[in-house]
A and B are shown apart, each in its own frame.
Chain A
Amino acid sequence: MRRKLPAVLLSAALAFVVTACGSGSGGSGGSGGDDGKITLGFSQVGSESGWREANTKSIKESAQTAGIDLKFSDAQQKQENQIATIRSYIQQKVDVIAFSPVVVTGWDAVLKEAQAAKIPVVLTDRAVDSDPSLYVSFLGSDFVKEGEAIGDWTLNEYKDATGPVNIVQLEGTVGSAPAIDRKKGFESKIASNPNLKVIASQSGDFTRADGKEVMTAILKANPKIDLLFAHNDDMGIGAIQAIEEAGKKPGVDIKIVTIDAVHDGMQALADGKINFIAECSPLLGDQLMEIVKQIKAGQPVEKRIITKETTFTQQQASEALPSRKY
């Protein structure tokens, strides 16, 4: 009996939790349907960066303005947390489920459960490799387009160049989707002008420290650099320090273009140390709420929706900086 006691207690506790969950979710789900308010269950990746934080904030604020009842959960970078959360949303019979998948694979089972419960699923920011019929829409940035925006600026900036223009590229983490796509977009654009030459292209792992270290070495090996393209602001900021320490003027002696438009990057742009930034916006909350409303109203939604993103020149950065959210 003494041995069995913990087991009995445990099962009693479990039974209590399960019934509590059941009654609780039944109540909230029912009320959600009754008062006509849409319930959205959202599972966030985690809070690993300032970008992600702004993303979370945007979703919470937009839900409030749109009058949508948001159930929010942070998966702390773990897929099992995310799957558990999505299952609980299915149990609670929310109207729509949205999530930023931690990883690409392994979602089929839980997505099928959602489909069986007739709850539409929207992916945000990151894609999955499951069958597209299992989700309604994927809302997120197009990294190739961001690279192309930088490429277009470069083509325009150096359209009158008569000699070779030496370009250095600081790539993101090797093998990551943004690094591959941004490189592809940029290089496909600049291929049309034979004067534009990428003379060095190295990975700076999306971090400031590596961006600086790589740029320090590249500066030594290449005396003439005209343009630096960094796959994110942080590497660009690291490279700016390296360029300054080499006795050159960032933004003037070496022009710098980056992607992201986080606060520190925008500040450097406004200060004239960066010349151009293509935005990779975390502020997809409004678009997400729009999609949720459309789904609920029974309107068709596009399978792939690209986040509204823009680009910034130095002038635009100084104007936008005071009202930036991140």
Chain B
Amino acid sequence: MKAVTGHRLFWPAAVLVVMLLANLVVTPGFFSIQVRNGHLYGSLIDILLLGSPLMLIALGMTVVIATGGIDLSVGAVVAISGALACYLISGQEDQGAVTGVLVAVALALVLSAALGFWNGLFVARVGIQPIIATLILMVAGRGVAQLITSGKNINVNSPPYKLIGGGYWLTLPFAVIVVAVVVALTGLAVRRTALGMLLEAIGGNAEASRLVGIRSRRLVVLAYTFCGLCAGIAGLMISSNISTADGNNAGLWMELDAILAVVIGGTALTGGRFTLAGTILGALVIQTLSTTIYTTGVPSQVTLVFKAVVVAIVCLIQSPAFRAKVFRRRARPEAPPPASPAAADVEVNA
């Protein structure tokens, strides 16, 4: 039992299960999955599909946080990537042409990776603190997105583009497949090679890792580039899902959700050890919370309070220090035998 509860993924997983079960009680059909229009249909599928962009962004964020950094610009990169792809597609004569969509997607991803690279240079080469370095792009990036869209929503009508964030492949949401592939590749790269360990070393102690000969600068730039790329893919998904690039609102405050997902997943913001699986669970917890609010009909005025309370509880449960305190207090009255004189005294006095 202790081996199970002691596992670092136990608490995020437990929180997710409890949330899903609570939904089942309130909405009996919550777990039902049907096949409709040739694809899977149900609340659980919604959580996976709508949670896909957050899972990707949080994945990139985990790698950056592992190096002891943080990337606040991911929300802006989401907006830029979606804006560029939709702008390019909307300019084509045949919006449904697969090659045109592929070119647009490729360019958007190259730009996103370049923006991540830019962040990485600021952090690793120029030596600006990550929170400041990425704040620059966070503030300016949304302006860039609006520049691309000229301040309007760009609508696209392109079935191949729609596939990325709203389509289905083999009855599964395509976005979920993309996330699964990216997570699997990242997992292989960081856990089957020394890459993960090197990242953790940099996050744990940058100076020491430099002294043992790790080329930390390169790896840090790589981490930010990867994070930008992940945000870029997420931006494609978000704009594809609604077939619209919204420079004003796409990815707004998503950096905060991503950081929250990483924290709920059990990776410390101080850098060092990280867990990709935990981050995915964290992102699912956040998306499940949103879906729960919408399906159960929490009044919109108290939605934010409800979210805040749940997140606070989740973070407290996650904290080993908090758990230790609570469990010790609970354990104390049980520890002495029930008829101990001390306990009796207290009762009499009370």
Contact = CB atoms under 8 A, between A and B. Distances in A.
A49 interface: yes
B152 interface: yes
A234 to B, nearest CB: 7
A309 interface: no
Given A212-B241, A214-B294, A245 B166 contact: yes
Interface string B11-29: 0000000000000000101
B90 interface: no
A216 B300 contact: no
Given A201-B299, A201-B300, A202-B294, A50 B151 contact: yes
Nearest to B294: A217
Contacts of B30: 220
Interface stretch (A85-93, A203-211, A293-301): A203-211
A220 to B, nearest CB: 5
Interface residues of A, number: 31
B291 interface: yes
Contacts of A238: 242
Contacts of A50: 151-153
Contact of A49 (B248, B290, B294, B296): B248
Given A214-B294, A238-B242, A174 B46 contact: no
B301 interface: yes
Interface string A238-274: 1001000111000000000000000010000000000
Contact of A209 (B155, B249, B303): B249
A171 B302 CA distance: 13
B97 interface: no
B162 to A, nearest CB: 10
Nearest to A244: B37
B301 A220 contact: no
A208 B165 CA distance: 14
B152 A53 contact: yes
Interface residues of B, number: 36
A240 B243 CA distance: 12
Interface string B237-274: 01001111010111000000000000000000000000
A200 interface: yes
B127 interface: no
A37 B46 CA distance: 61
B50 interface: yes
B336 interface: no
A202 B155 CA distance: 25
Given A50-B151, A221-B297, A213 B290 contact: yes
B153 A209 contact: no
A163 B71 CA distance: 54
Contact of B42 (A53, A205, A213, A220): A220
Nearest to A211: B242
Contacts of A205: 249
Nearest to A223: B29
Contacts of B300: 171, 174, 201-203
Interface in A216-235: 216-218, 220-221, 234
A207 B246 contact: yes
B299 to A, nearest CB: 7
B297 A174 contact: no
B295 A221 contact: yes
A221 B246 CA distance: 28
* Centre residue among B42, B43, B153, B303 by max chain A CB count within 10 A: B153
* Centre residue among B166, B244, B248 by max chain A CB count within 10 A: B244
A264 B242 CA distance: 13
A286 to B, nearest CB: 24
B46 A207 contact: no
Contacts of B304: 174
A200 B153 contact: no
B295 A217 contact: yes
A102 to B, nearest CB: 16
Interface of A: 47-50, 53, 171, 174, 200-203, 205, 207-210, 212-214, 216-218, 220-221, 234, 238, 241, 245-247, 264
14 contacts: A47-B151, A48-B248, A53-B151, A201-B299, A202-B300, A209-B242, A216-B46, A217-B46, A217-B291, A220-B29, A220-B42, A221-B297, A241-B166, A241-B242
